[in-house]
Amino acid sequence: MAKPSVPFPSMTALRVMLAIAERGSTTAAAESINLSQSAVSKQLLTLEDLLGAQIFSRKPSGMVPTELGMIYLEQAQVAIKAMEEAAYRASLLQPDSHTLRLRVLPILGDRWLLPRFSDFSQKHPEIDVQYTTFSTENPAVQPDGAFRFGRGPFADEDAIYLFGKNVRLVCSPSYLARLGECETLEAAARGLIIEHPGTPLHWTDLVADHGQPDLKPSGIMRFDYYTLVLRAAISGQGMALVPPELVDEELRAGTLVNPAGLGYHSKVAYWFTTPADRKPSAALKAFRRWLMECVEEPAFG
């Protein structure tokens, strides 16, 4: 007996579904796959209309897959990995492919890479750059390069240091006005600190670097998404520790300030890494050269 005809979702819809399941909301999913929130919501609604049922339950704690959603999520992971491997094998048929597959961190992509990327596209229109936020252990579908946040150097990888060792304490001018004089760490401790629990850029690192590990702030507010940490600081809700390169536009515009130059030297930073045992393509060499030119740009302050 022939199987009944079943509607087949698009690859974009499958990626959206996986991102929502991973992040718990359409807003966070949009950030991770470089789509607008409205585009993600539209993809989800179209997919649920196609399937005739909800694939996520909307709960206060976030979006949770339904029983139907779990079925499609399991198979979506298989389908996407299969298509990635097919694309990779196809690229190997060309001795010098002009396709470049890169894994990018959402916050770095949004705040640092994409604002600069048009320059690379204009200089190298022949190179097709494909971004992903997905990681895999399958060597056949690993990206040509990856943007990473951590302690370098990395074993078995060639790395270009981008930025991040210089961390600044930032807040909005309106928050600084409410806080008052803020020329010392003791003065800054009167403020509320905004942090991301999974990112090691915390008040404890700042005071430890200045030899005052027991100095406590008036309070700490935490967000599960680093973009919300930045938005909260920009909107005047507190102070955040941030590499200035991620908020360069706001610092130059004056919507964020760095009181008294307060900050510290971090042991973790942003890097671009490539496998040391893989011969780089001409496209990858061009991208690495361009990245190094970007790193040489003068930073704020």
Question: Do the bridges between strand 128-132 and strand 99-103 make them parallel or antiparallel, or are there none, so unpaired?
Answer: parallel
- Token pair, residue 93, equals 């048929």
Cα–Cα nearest to 240, from 192, 204, 200, 173: 192
Identify whether residues 174 and 238 lie together within a single domain: yes
Q: How far apart are CA 66 and CA 54, in angstroms?
A: 7
Average per-residue pLDDT in the chain? 85
Identify whether residues 70 and 131 lie together within a single domain: no
Identify whether residues 188 and 244 lie together within a single domain: yes
Residues 37-56: pLDDT tens digits? 888 888 888 888 888 888 88
Half-sphere exposure of 216 (CA within 13 A, CB side): 3
3-state secondary structure of 143: coil
Identify whether residues 259 and 179 lie together within a single domain: yes
The whole model's pTM is what?
Answer: 0.67
Position 4 in a domain: no
Residues 122-149: pLDDT tens digits? 999 999 898 876 555 554 457 889 999 9
- Residue % of the chain over a pLDDT of 90: 46
- Residue partners of 98: CB distance under 8 A and separation at least 6: 126, 127, 128, 283
Position 280 in a domain: yes
For residues 1 and 176, the model is more confident at 176
- Residue 1 pLDDT grade (very low, low, confident, very high; cuts 50, 70, 90): very low
Instruction: Give the residue numbers spanning the domain of 107.
Output: 94-164+269-295
Residues forming beta bridges with residue 130, ordered by sequence position: 101
Give the containing element (helix H, strand E) for 179: helix 173-179
| pLDDT value of position 224 | 83
Q: How far apart are CA 237 and CA 229, in angstroms?
A: 10
Cα–Cα nearest to 226, from 164, 135, 154: 164
| ∠ Cα 247 251 254 (to 5°) | 135
